[in-house]
C-alpha cells in the first residue's frame, strides 16, 4: 500500500509540473529524502521526520496536506482507500477558493445587512458587566480544578520547524568539524569518545549506555559530530554507506550500502552489528 501511496504522490507532482529540485528549493528538504518518499523507501527516516517531509512535499505540489496524511495513515495500516483522494483534494482546494469570490453587488448587500443588524443590536452595560463577572468566575474554576490535571496535548511539528532545528544541528556539526583531534584525557563518566564522520547525508540515532531513548539527527555530507558515553553506544544509521566511526582516535571497521539501515553496538572492544527488524511498513507494501 505504501508503494501505491508513493506512486500517487509522484503522479501528482508530475501533473502539477513541479520538479524535485523545485520542491527542494522551496522546502530545503534534501533531494535524497524526496526521492526516497517517491520510491516508497519510508524506512530511511524516523516517523517524526517522515511525516513532516510528506507534508512539505504535499504542500509544494498543491495537495491538501490533511487528505494526503489520511491516505498515508491508511496505506501504513494496509487499508485500501479511494483511488482519487489526492485528485479530489486538488479539486476541493479549487472549489473552496471559488467560494471566496464575491461579485461587487453581493459584497455591497452583505455590508448593508451587517450595518442594519448592528443598528438593531445595542448592548446593555449591566448585561456586559454580568457576563464579564461570570466569565471570570468560570476561568477561575477551570484553572483551580481542571487545568492541573489536564493531559499533555501532542501536536505534529510542521516541517519548517523540523528543518530549522536541523539547521542548528548542522551548525553544531560544523563547529565539531574544526577540531583536528579527539582529546586523549577522559573523565571516568565519559571514557568513550566517538567521532561520527559523514560521507553522505544520513539520519543517525545514538543511544548511550543503557538509555532506551536516544538522540537523533541528520548529518550532512562532509560534516561530523562527537558523542561521548561511559560504556557503550547503540547506533542506528539510515544510510549506512554514508558514515564512518572513529572511537578514541581509532577508526572502526564499518561497512554498509546506500540507503541501507544498520544498527551497531560500539564499546571499548570495538564495533558489532545488531539485527535489523523490518518494520510493519514494509509488510504492507
76 domain-assigned: yes
Boundary residue ending a domain (79, 98, 117): 98
CB of 188 closer than 8 Å to CB of 228: no
252 domain-assigned: yes
> ∠ CA(264), CA(265), CA(270), 5° rounding?
110
Q: Which domain holds residue 114?
A: 104-149
When divided into structural domains, the chain yields a total of: 3
Q: All 3 cell numbers of residue 261?
A: 539501515
CA–CA gap between residue 84 and residue 91 (Å, rounded)? 10
48 domain-assigned: yes
Residues 183 and 237 in one domain: yes
Q: What's the confidence (pLDDT) of residue 212?
A: 84
Question: Measuring CA to CA, which residue among 2, 30, 19 is closest to residue 238?
Answer: 30
Q: What's the confidence (pLDDT) of residue 1?
A: 75
Let me know how long the chain is.
285
Residues 185 and 263 in one domain: yes
> CB atoms < 10 A from the CB of 50, how many?
19
pLDDT in 10s for each residue of the chain, 285 residues: 788 898 999 999 999 998 989 998 888 888 888 888 999 888 777 787 888 889 889 889 899 989 999 998 888 887 766 555 555 555 555 455 445 444 444 555 555 555 555 544 455 666 667 777 677 666 655 555 444 433 333 344 555 566 665 555 544 544 444 443 344 444 446 799 999 999 888 899 999 998 888 899 988 888 999 999 999 999 999 888 889 999 999 999 999 888 889 999 999 999 999 998 765 344 444
172 domain-assigned: yes
154 domain-assigned: no
Cα separation values, 68 from 22, 28, 107, 250, Å: 20, 20, 34, 47
Q: Record the pTM.
A: 0.51
Residues 167 and 131 in one domain: no
Residues 67 and 172 in one domain: no
CA–CA gap between residue 103 and residue 245 (Å, rounded)? 66
Residues 133 and 181 in one domain: no
Residues 108 and 94 in one domain: no
Cα separation values, 18 from 56, 62, 142, Å: 13, 10, 49
Q: What's the confidence (pLDDT) of residue 208?
A: 95
Q: What's the confidence (pLDDT) of residue 278?
A: 62
Residues 85 and 195 in one domain: no
CB of 160 closer than 8 Å to CB of 30: no
Residues 249 and 192 in one domain: yes
165 domain-assigned: yes
Q: What's the confidence (pLDDT) of residue 120?
A: 46
Residue 47's domain is classified under what CATH number? 1.10.260.40
Residues 164 and 267 in one domain: yes
Amino acid at each position: 500500500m505504501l508503494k501505491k501511496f508513493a506512486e500517487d504522490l509522484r503522479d501528482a507532482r508530475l501533473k502539477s509540473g513541479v520538479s524535485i529540485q523545485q520542491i527542494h528549493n522551496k522546502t530545503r528538504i534534501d533531494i535524497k529524502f524526496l526521492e526516497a518518499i517517491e520510491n516508497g523507501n519510508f524506512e530511511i527516516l524516523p516517523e517524526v521526520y517522515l511525516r513532516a517531509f510528506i507534508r512539505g512535499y504535499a504542500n509544494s505540489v498543491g495537495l491538501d496536506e490533511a487528505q494526503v496524511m489520511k491516505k498515508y495513515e491508511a496505506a501504513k495500516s494496509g487499508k485500501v482507500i479511494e483511488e482519487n483522494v489526492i485528485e479530489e483534494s486538488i479539486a476541493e482546494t479549487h472549489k473552496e477558493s471559488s467560494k471566496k469570490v464575491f461579485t461587487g453587488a453581493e459584497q455591497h448587500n452583505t455590508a448593508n445587512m451587517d450595518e442594519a443588524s448592528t443598528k438593531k443590536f445595542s448592548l446593555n452595560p449591566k448585561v456586559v458587566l454580568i457576563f464579564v463577572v461570570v466569565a471570570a468566575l468560570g476561568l477561575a474554576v477551570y484553572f483551580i480544578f481542571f487545568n492541573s490535571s489536564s493531559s499533555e496535548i501532542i501536536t505534529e511539528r510542521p516541517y519548517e520547524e523540523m528543518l530549522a532545528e536541523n539547521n542548528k544541528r548542522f551548525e553544531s556539526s560544523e563547529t565539531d568539524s574544526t577540531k583536528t583531534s579527539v582529546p586523549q584525557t577522559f573523565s571516568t563518566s565519559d571514557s568513550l569518545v566517538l567521532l561520527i564522520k559523514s560521507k553522505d547525508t544520513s539520519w543517525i540515532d545514538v543511544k548511550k549506555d543503557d538509555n532506551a531513548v536516544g538522540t537523533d539527527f541528520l548529518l550532512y555530507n562532509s560534516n561530523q559530530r562527537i558523542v561521548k558515553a561511559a560504556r557503550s553506544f547503540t547506533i542506528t544509521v539510515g544510510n549506512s554507506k554514508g558514515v564512518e566511526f572513529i572511537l578514541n582516535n581509532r577508526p572502526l571497521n564499518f561497512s554498509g550500502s546506500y540507503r541501507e539501515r544498520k544498527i551497531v553496538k560500539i564499546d571499548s572492544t570495538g564495533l558489532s552489528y545488531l539485527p535489523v527488524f523490518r518494520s510493519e511498513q514494509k509488510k504492507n507494501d
